[in-house]
Amino acid sequence: MDPVTIGLMGVVGVFTLLFLGMPIAMACMLVGMAGIGYLSNPEAALDKVASTVYEVTSFYPYTVIPLFIMMGGFCTTSGMTSQLFSTFEKWLRRLPGGLGIATIAACAGFAAVSGSSVASAAAMGTIAIPEMLRYNYSPRLAAGCVVAGGTLAFLIPPSIGFVVFGMLTEQSIGKLLVAGCLPGLVMALLYVGLVLVWVKIDPHMAPTSPEPVSWSEKIRSLRGVWGTLSLFLLVIGGIYLGFFTATEAAAVGATVMFLVVLIQRKLTWSGFVGTLQDAVRISAMVLFLVAGANVFSYFLALSTIPTQVAAWATELEVSRYFILAVILLIYLFLGCLLDAISMMVLTLPVVFPVITALHFQPIWFGVVAVLMMEAGLITPPMGLNVFTVAGVIPDVPLETVFRGSMPFLICIVLICVILTVFPQIAMVLPQMMTR
């Protein structure tokens, strides 16, 4: 059989193993090893697996993953989540749907110090949803705001999504992180706009206006955001100005937050061990996924599928934006079946060569790809953020959480269109970086 046929059989084989319940990293590595062995020889396949696993797990820049996870864990321990919500709630509560808007703003703030979307949704869900329900907000609106707000942690740096994209495509992780800043802000504003329109159309979604707060209390509440703002400026500002690499910035951020929770006397032994366990567990999962993806990518390269697909796409007599739209629709469909990182692992070996062949900016596409991963966090039946919120607030049915999150898909599609028309929103900051 010719290499292309073998490659197509390998792709089908991976999806077959996934549907049979095999972990995606193992499926990619097993099929990739078998494919390399067939197209080359068994010794080359074994050597490739061994060298790939070693190279991925020993590559120093990848330590950014556990360090960012530790930073986010210490931020949660310090109580930043509740402080952010309390501050924004006091300032925004009098707006239509003000508590929902405050929830989104607090999620955006927490996203700036935590790269975990699930952690953001879980932490904010336990704080914001009971408060909104107390003021007779619709459970659908309350849950939707938390689910959508949690997705911002996948776009606003530090984002594990950008780290994984950079690892799989060999792009600058620092530039990817910085590229997410302005799109993340635009996304948060679109979410806020949606809540305002939603409540204006149906005032019963948020029928009660909480009592006003005095200006002196509002001013005092600003003390709750200084820590988040300072940490964000230290970490992302340090990357942008060239003071730190992404790995160094993550180390500085994790160290600073560790010292903060020590000074606050909020760090318990169980909390410290739990943060380390999360860092090890998530890092091992991501690194094994990347190793499996690299083995599978090497197999696909031997089959010549990526280069042939890229050549075919460039020869089509259609606009490159039509091909981009098709790719994004595929991502939207896959988001119903796979988690975000699995989508990257499976698709980027084929999709990324097409994107570069069509002369799209790799950093810009990284932002757009992460946006589509965000969609996967709220689309049924996978919707990881939806299940997280339904788990921490059992009084709100899963169906209600899904229905509340669906309108926010409009914002994700809209910002993809905006970034396509105005790519400089994502590119202006990375292009100004000193390194």
Largest CA distance in the chain: 76
- Check residues 416 and 392 and name the one with the higher pLDDT: 416
> Per-residue confidence at 343, pLDDT binned at 50, 70, 90?
confident
- In a 13 Å sphere around the CA of 77, the CA atoms on its Cβ side amount to 27
> Per-residue confidence at 324, pLDDT binned at 50, 70, 90?
very high
Structure confidence at residue 197 (pLDDT):
94
Q: Residue 90's domain spans which residues?
A: 3-431
User: Is the pLDDT reported for residue 57 higher than 90?
Assistant: no
Q: How far apart are CA 353 and CA 362, in angstroms?
A: 10
Specify the pTM: 0.88
Q: How far apart are CA 352 and CA 369, in angstroms?
A: 10
Cβ neighbours around 230 below 10 Å, total: 14
Percent of the chain past pLDDT 70, that is, above it, reads 99
Both ends of the chain: CA-CA distance in Å? 47
User: Is the pLDDT reported for residue 118 higher than 80?
Assistant: no
User: Is the pLDDT reported for residue 9 higher than 90?
Assistant: yes
Is 138 within 8 Å of 402 (Cβ atoms)? no
Lowest mean pLDDT among 43-47, 83-87, 321-325: 83-87
- Domain total for the chain? 1
What's phi and psi for 211, nearest 5 deg? -65, 150
- Check residues 381 and 170 and name the one with the higher pLDDT: 170
Structure confidence at residue 245 (pLDDT):
87
Which amino acid does the sequence have at 99? Answer: L
Which amino acid does the sequence have at 283? Answer: S
Which amino acid does the sequence have at 179? Answer: A
Quick one: 71 exposed, middle or buried, by C-beta within 10 A (0-12, 13-18, 19+)? buried
Q: How far apart are CA 48 and CA 39, in angstroms?
A: 13
Structure confidence at residue 434 (pLDDT):
61
User: Is the pLDDT reported for residue 224 higher than 80?
Assistant: no
Is 196 within 8 Å of 132 (Cβ atoms)? no
**What are the distances in angstroms from CA 431 to CA 56, 163, 180, 352, 420?**
28, 18, 13, 21, 17
Q: How far apart are CA 307 and CA 304, in angstroms?
A: 6
What's phi and psi for 267, nearest 5 deg? -90, 115
Q: If we measure between CA atoms, which residue out of 343, 425, 347 comes closest to residue 379?
A: 343
Is 41 within 8 Å of 224 (Cβ atoms)? no
Question: What is the average pLDDT across 295-320?
Answer: 87
Q: If we measure between CA atoms, which residue out of 371, 376, 331, 378 comes closest to residue 350?
A: 331
> Per-residue confidence at 435, pLDDT binned at 50, 70, 90?
low
Structure confidence at residue 138 (pLDDT):
93
Q: Is 203 helix (H, G, I), strand (E, B) or coil?
A: helix
As given in the structure block, the two tokens for residue 412 are: 């994700």
Report the Cα 345 to chain-centroid distance in Å: 14
Q: Name, of 185-199, 214-228, 296-310, 382-396, the range with top average pLDDT.
A: 185-199
User: Is the pLDDT reported for residue 185 higher than 70?
Assistant: yes
Token pair 């495509």 is found at 169
User: Is the pLDDT reported for residue 76 higher than 70?
Assistant: yes
DSSP category for residue 154: G
Q: How far apart are CA 126 and CA 129, in angstroms?
A: 6
Q: Name, of 57-66, 70-79, 129-138, 182-191, the range with top average pLDDT.
A: 182-191
Q: How far apart are CA 155 and CA 142, in angstroms?
A: 21
Structure confidence at residue 285 (pLDDT):
86
Percent of the chain past pLDDT 90, that is, above it, reads 34
Is 369 within 8 Å of 331 (Cβ atoms)? yes
Q: How far apart are CA 44 and CA 229, in angstroms?
A: 50
Give tens-digit pLDDT for 397-413: 888 989 999 999 899 99
Check whether the bond before 158 is cis (ω within 30° of 0).
yes
